[in-house]
Structure 1
């Protein structure tokens, strides 16, 4: 059990939550620019995913079918439930959806994990906006499942070459075609960073424990100090520091097991639920505050702080409830085995 990865899951998910908190606060009247660096939590997830896919399938032959089955069982049910809830809200109470519009292909693509332009935002995002990362995850799983057919020593190289070739193609011949633009993004190289860290963790020479703290500190400082970054350089400006953070956590794990912190472990377990449901929760809490603001004895910064604390707190509480009441039972039923809380396996999106 790698407790440090549970902590990173919790931190990365909360970074994304805080990033998306800016929208409801701006509707409440906040005029100051909202920090964009919380979006880098996604990059930490991508590196973690590459690492976990390697270490949980290492030296397993003939495993492609089982791998695909486990990935689908782990990712699809909860995502489809949240997507259906978002669609129902859009159709039945469109006035509550600030940035939504029902469009047939966009809805279909949202369920199929395919990139499609959002009918309102214009970006390549599904109904559940954070789900754009799952589209990348699914494509990476497709490549890694194929790679499992290769000898162990060729898997990382094979996937790395394919992803690097796609990134070079996207750089050399940019296109507005959604599929081409999406699957030639250099952000997918972050999965390869994770694969490389997996090889080091299993076979590499140990690194003194102190370097773990250095890597984590420098990585987070770099991530949080840069603000927004353009897509063309995201892999370098956020992906590399994200890899440093994960590498630092793994250095600590190899030197000495990281102690379990119950609250962070639970939030790490619920990170997938938090990632999927936080958008609706933040929006709901934000709209409540907009309506109540005139009657509240708060204004300015105090009002924004109260809204932020309430929204993030509600997102954490509801995500844990969804994890315990929906996600975990679904996993147990569909996988045909008893779910193990807190176990760091490939059964979570990275």
Structure 2
């Protein structure tokens, strides 16, 4: 295995996530485990809608903090791009190919699956209808008003997260010619400027409303954590202090019933960045406990993210049909929903995502080898 973290010089690795996380010859296990936390929070957050339907609207949403899972994914995304690109020569084309090959194929597959359901059994999709431009722009990660909801959400609803990631990849990749520090500063400046512009010119442009959402600041926080991580070793006192501050911010957000919206970055973003900082700092200095199960779950976190709404809808139908919800209650139903989402995600990862990524990796390697030969020694 190469010690420079170059994907081109390493043998294939089971998970595409591990490929991105390898740096100076090792994988950051804490990031894998944090992905499990993020995906689980997102699933639990989305169970609220199904439970509300099962209770005929009686249930009051009580897991607003589950939205923090999305912010954690954003923070991890910002960290990973800085971490894996540090002191690494790369081209914009190669960079974007790797990133979009990572997120697009599985997302497209489930988008077309949802289209099939809409055409065959539209009664199962109460908040979706066919719209050519909405569907097309969803496939290319461009925000477009949802024909039913009226907000910028793609055909496959969780894809709004990927729309933000796609923009972040384009912005980050376009600045690869800068040194790591200057790149972090430039990307952060653009994202912060968009947030400010949205605040000044609210509702003047749906694209500005989307890209200027405060959730974009989570990328900034993740990049800052990565830059600090690469630059220095923190003392135990600083790590402990950051942990306490993060817990305090998160607890305050829970007590104030923060969910989504403009304040999410202030609460969930800062709390998640603190958690990320603590975990990677601990691993850097003292190592991180190895847990094969959690690592495998971390590998499958993207599959869970893309497929979990299908699992939740299916389980809700089963619970309603068998009249099991009154027996399980809200806590029991949440456990069943969470288990089903992870079970489906693991199946999707093993049967679709991992073979697909290996196929893409095999196709990319000969192309990279030809480029190296063409350039010469």
Q: Would the TM-score normalized by the shorter structure come out above 0.5?
A: yes
1:255 aligns with one of 275, 285, 288: 285
Given the alignment of the two structures, is residue 281 of structure 1 paired with residue 311 of structure 2, yes or no?
Answer: yes
* Matches of 2:192 and 2:243, distance apart in 1: 30
* Matches of 1:215 and 1:263, distance apart in 2: 30
Which shows bigger deviation, 306-315 or 318-327?
A: 306-315
Q: Call closer, same or farther: CA 1:329–1:89 in 2, change over 3 Å.
A: same
Given the alignment of the two structures, is residue 110 of structure 1 paired with residue 138 of structure 2, yes or no?
Answer: yes
* Greater relative contact order (Cα < 8 A, sep 6+): 1
* Matches of 2:319 and 2:168, distance apart in 1: 40
Which residue of structure 2 lines up, in the alignment, with residue 45 of structure 1?
73
Aligned partner of residue 102 in structure 1, secondary structure: coil
Given the alignment of the two structures, is residue 166 of structure 1 paired with residue 211 of structure 2, yes or no?
Answer: no
User: Shift in Å at residue 222 of structure 1?
Assistant: 4.4
Which residue of structure 1 lines up, in the alignment, with residue 353 of structure 2?
327
Given the alignment of the two structures, is residue 150 of structure 1 paired with residue 178 of structure 2, yes or no?
Answer: yes
Matches within 5 A, 1:198-209: 198-208=226-236
Q: Call closer, same or farther: CA 1:52–1:215 in 2, change over 3 Å.
A: farther
2:60 aligns with one of 26, 33, 38: 33
Checking the alignment, whether the CA contact within 8 Å between 2:66 and 2:259 is kept in structure 1 is: no
Which shows bigger deviation, 69-78 or 309-318?
A: 309-318
User: Shift in Å at residue 118 of structure 1?
Assistant: 1.6
Q: Provide Cα deviations, 1:115-159, integer angstroms capped at 9, x if missing partner.
A: 112222222211221110100000000000011022333111111
User: Shift in Å at residue 255 of structure 1?
Assistant: 2.3
Which residue of structure 1 lines up, in the alignment, with residue 11 of structure 2?
none
User: Shift in Å at residue 216 of structure 1?
Assistant: 5.8
Q: Call closer, same or farther: CA 1:292–1:277 in 2, change over 3 Å.
A: same
Checking the alignment, whether the CA contact within 8 Å between 1:215 and 1:245 is kept in structure 2 is: no
Which residue of structure 2 lines up, in the alignment, with residue 59 of structure 1?
87
* Matches of 2:191 and 2:338, distance apart in 1: 35
Checking the alignment, whether the CA contact within 8 Å between 1:270 and 1:319 is kept in structure 2 is: yes
* Matches of 1:151 and 1:308, distance apart in 2: 46
Structure 1: 5+ residue runs without aligned partners?
340-350
Given the alignment of the two structures, is residue 317 of structure 1 paired with residue 347 of structure 2, yes or no?
Answer: no
Which residue of structure 1 lines up, in the alignment, with residue 14 of structure 2?
none
Which residue of structure 1 lines up, in the alignment, with residue 326 of structure 2?
299
Checking the alignment, whether the CA contact within 8 Å between 2:67 and 2:259 is kept in structure 1 is: no
User: Shift in Å at residue 4 of structure 1?
Assistant: 1.2
Aligned partner of residue 147 in structure 1, secondary structure: coil
Q: Call closer, same or farther: CA 1:40–1:304 in 2, change over 3 Å.
A: same
Checking the alignment, whether the CA contact within 8 Å between 1:38 and 1:224 is kept in structure 2 is: no
